[in-house]
Amino acid sequence: MTEEPRADYILTLSCPDQRGIVHAVASFLLVTGCSIVDSQQYGDPDTGVFFMRVHFRAQEPGVDLTALTNGFAATGTSFHMQWQIHAAEARMPMMIMVSKFGHCLNDLLFRHASGALPVQIPLVVSNHADFRQMVEGYGIEFVHLPVAPDKSDKAAQEARLLELVREHDIELVVLARYMQVLSDEVCKALEGRIINIHHSFLPSFKGAKPYHQAHDRGVKLIGATAHYVTADLDEGPIIEQDVVRVGHGMTPDQFVAAGRDVESRVLSRAVAWHAEHRVLLGSKRTVVFP
């Protein structure tokens, strides 16, 4: 007799911190015929919010995503939870947006092709046509959505952008050095599911040529910041940051090269963590479960 394959799932939740949350979750999984593979939780003392991520495995036949979602609803309501259950093996549909710097795009495409990112990438969108050949070389659709210098067509361009998100059931949008400021309407529509890579270690050296600013100031560390996009430019909740050591003997171009390497690493980690449902959003900051 062939044994029915077991399926893994991820439960994420946040709610007002109170006694009994972990017990209620564990009890639900026990009576549903599931076993816990990994569980992480954090109670934020500043906000009084409790965060939890549980990787669990269905051990009984007939336990699927629909049954789990319907069954957990009462527990979620009783604790005033914001919660989701996802199939652990599902690959999140992701759209990449890029302009004229391709290092982060190239890194994400390679990691995706090699199976290192738990995502699927149906399309890449750009306001320039520079990377069409690169993208199509990976067998991915390239969509050119230019923006006029006077921004007169920006509203129409963004409307088409949101249409593409809906058409492809996109769950995550990644700005891989996309150099157009998105409207408040787009930021709101994609809230919590759009990630940007900022080419400096926020909040220092904002604006143009951050690596040149860093070079002029004689800094010894430069870095990059991946964060969720909000209407407040470069002020969204931070997901990941990293730095690289530099020295006085390096030129600005060498600063840029080092910065591009760290940008690619930081963005790929942020994308992977989001796709694995390891990032939970609080009011102003994230909780990231490793």
Model confidence over 90-110: pLDDT tens digits? 999 999 999 999 999 999 999
For 102, list phi and psi in degrees, rounded to 5: -105, 5
For residue 205, pLDDT beyond 70? no
Model confidence band, residue 266 (pLDDT cutoffs 50, 70, 90): very high
* Residue 262 shares a structural domain with residue 283: yes
For residue 234, indicate whether it is catalytic: yes
Same domain, residue pair 113 and 254: yes
Asked whether residue 3 is assigned to any structural domain, the reply reads: no
Q: Band of the pLDDT at 71, cuts 50, 70, 90?
A: very high
- Specify the number of domains making up the chain: 2
Choosing from 30, 57, 87, the residue where a domain stops is: 87
Tokens of 154: 């920006």
**Same domain, yes or no: 190 and 246:** yes
The answer, yes or no, to whether residue 219 has pLDDT greater than 80, is no
| CATH code of 41's domain | 3.30.70.260
Burial pattern 5-37, b for ≥16 Cβ within 10 A else e, equals: eebebbbbbbbebeeebeebbeebbeebebeee
Q: Which residue range(s) make up the domain with 18?
A: 8-87
- From 87, 106, 129, the end of a domain falls on 87
- Is residue 152 in some structural domain? yes
| pLDDT tens for each residue of 165-190 | 999 999 999 999 999 999 999 999 99
- Domain end (from 87, 106, 131): 87
Mean pLDDT of the 111-125 span: 97
| Same domain for 266 and 162 | yes
Residues 255 and 193 in one domain: yes
Identified catalytic residue from 8, 17, 130, 234: 234
The domain spanning residue 150 has which CATH number? Answer: 3.40.50.170
